[in-house]
């Protein structure tokens, strides 16, 4: 581990255009610039989000350059997938340009692995069960030192999608998460919603249909409260099942829905009851960001991953099981 590496990472998989710069060893965040696309109406429009990223790329890069001299950079990383094709291509284009200009290696990283490994870096979790919950993903993953194993996932829509689509229907705007959380805190009335757990898988489409039908008929606070209590109980149940099956004592949450205080509270309680540890970390790193891409870029570079510019096309459907996990002993001196 003698080598000291600095990596610039570019995130552009969905709504956030982020540039992060990370130094290692030891792990140190040098800069974290974010620009977030907010749709005028409806959910994320991929081509509109991509246009947002193109418009913000130069100012974001300038802001990063005002903090860190790019001459320090040894590696250029970008989120290669999974994500929205038009958005991914913006980050990839900027990364290729930087790699050529700085004459530094180009590394394409997996967005889901990046979420998990920034959580591990910030908490020092070694082989946790991870609940990965975002706008497009809901998975229970065992992040062991040898490989990533998907133990459970949604059979239909992601929990973030459940929240966002319900919120849009209820006129709460996009993204729905923060607004639903705020309204939920004003209610204690639990409505009966479909609770759909099959082994370590979950399903949310029935709950969404029912909630959509209740908009305007029940107070919105009660709908938000019931959505959170039911959906999050399902997620914590499957996470606990995974921990029990493997005998794992560490639990982390990754992805934007992890910003929810109630979900993290339930996670803490579940872990406490089974003598395990819920490893929480600063809330801003649950959301998409460039720092996690930069850190995963360092990890993958150390594992020998490098791309030629001509072979660096994006991978919108890249699954985490095809990614190499970090080497062990990363945080030892
Ligand atoms: P990501 O795709 O990882 O950036 O996460 C975005 C998702 O996180 C969207 O579906 C948001 O609605 C959701 N989200 C953000 N903040 C919260 C919150 N406080 N509670 C629940 N969901 C949230
Ligand atoms: Mg994400």
Would you say residue 110 has pLDDT above 60? yes
- The reply to whether 5-115+286-332 and 127-278 are identical in fold is yes
Radius of gyration of the chain (CA): 20
| 333/278: higher pLDDT | 278
Give domain limits for the chain.
5-115+286-332, 127-278
Would you say residue 2 has pLDDT above 80? no
Decide: 14 in ligand 1 pocket, CB within 6 A. Answer: yes
Atom of ligand 1 nearest to the CA of 175: 12
Residue 110 Cα to ligand 1 midpoint, Å, equals 19
Domain 127-278: give its CATH superfamily: ATPase, nucleotide binding domain (3.30.420.40)
Residue 115 Cα to ligand 2 midpoint, Å, equals 7
Decide: 290 in ligand 1 pocket, CB within 6 A. Answer: no
Would you say residue 148 has pLDDT above 60? yes
As a whole-number percent, the residues of the chain with pLDDT over 90 amount to: 92
List, as one string, the DSSP characters of 165-207.
Answer: HHHHHTT--SS-HHHHHHHHTT----------EETTEE--HHH
57 Cα distance to chain centroid: 21
pLDDT at residue 44 in the model: 86
**Regarding the domain delimited by 5-115+286-332, which CATH topology (the fold level of the hierarchy) does it fall under?**
Nucleotidyltransferase; domain 5 (3.30.420)
301 Cβ contact list (under 8 Å, min separation 6): 5, 7, 75, 77, 105, 107
Q: Which pTM does this prediction carry? A: 0.96
Strand partners of residue 130: 141, 252
Would you say residue 174 has pLDDT above 90? no
pLDDT in tens, 243-290: 999 999 999 999 999 999 999 999 999 999 999 999 999 999 999 999
Mutate which of 135, 166, 235 for ligand 1? The one with the most ligand atoms within 8 Å of its CB, which is 135
The mean pLDDT value of the chain amounts to 96
pLDDT at residue 301 in the model: 97
Decide: 326 in ligand 1 pocket, CB within 6 A. Answer: no
């Amino acid at each position: 581990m003698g080598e000291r590496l600095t990596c610039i990472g570019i995130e552009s998989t969905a709504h956030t255009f982020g540039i992060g710069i990370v130094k290692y060893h030891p792990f140190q965040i040098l800069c974290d610039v974010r620009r977030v696309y907010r749709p005028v109406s409806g959910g994320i429009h991929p081509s509109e989000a991509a246009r947002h990223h193109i418009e913000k790329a130069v100012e974001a890069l300038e802001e990063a350059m005002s903090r860190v001299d790019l001459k320090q950079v040894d590696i250029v990383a970008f989120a290669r997938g999974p994500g929205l094709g038009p958005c991914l291509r913006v980050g990839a284009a900027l990364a290729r340009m930087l790699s050529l200009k700085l004459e530094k290696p180009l590394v394409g990283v997996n967005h889901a692995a990046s979420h998990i490994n920034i959580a591990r870096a910030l908490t020092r979790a070694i082989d946790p069960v991870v609940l990965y919950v975002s706008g497009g993903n809901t998975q229970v993953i065992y992040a062991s030192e040898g490989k990533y194993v998907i133990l459970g996932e949604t059979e239909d829509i992601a929990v973030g999608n459940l929240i966002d689509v319900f919120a849009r229907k209820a006129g709460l705007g996009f993204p729905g998460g923060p607004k639903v959380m705020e309204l939920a805190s004003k209610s204690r009335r639990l409505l009966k919603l479909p609770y759909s757990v099959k082994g370590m898988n979950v399903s949310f489409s029935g709950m969404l249909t029912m909630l959509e039908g209740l908009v305007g008929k029940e107070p919105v606070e009660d709908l938000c409260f019931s959505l959170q209590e039911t959906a999050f109980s399902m997620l914590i149940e499957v996470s606990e099942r995974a921990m029990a099956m493997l005998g794992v004592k560490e639990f982390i949450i990754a992805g934007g829905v992890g910003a929810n205080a109630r979900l993290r509270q339930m996670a803490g309680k579940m872990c406490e009851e089974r003598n395990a540890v819920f490893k929480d970390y600063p809330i801003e790193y649950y959301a998409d960001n460039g720092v996690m891409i930069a850190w995963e870029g360092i990890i993958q570079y150390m594992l020998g991953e490098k791309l030629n510019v001509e072979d660096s096309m994006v991978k919108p459907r890249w699954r985490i099981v095809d990614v190499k996990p970090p080497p062990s002993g990363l945080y030892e001196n």
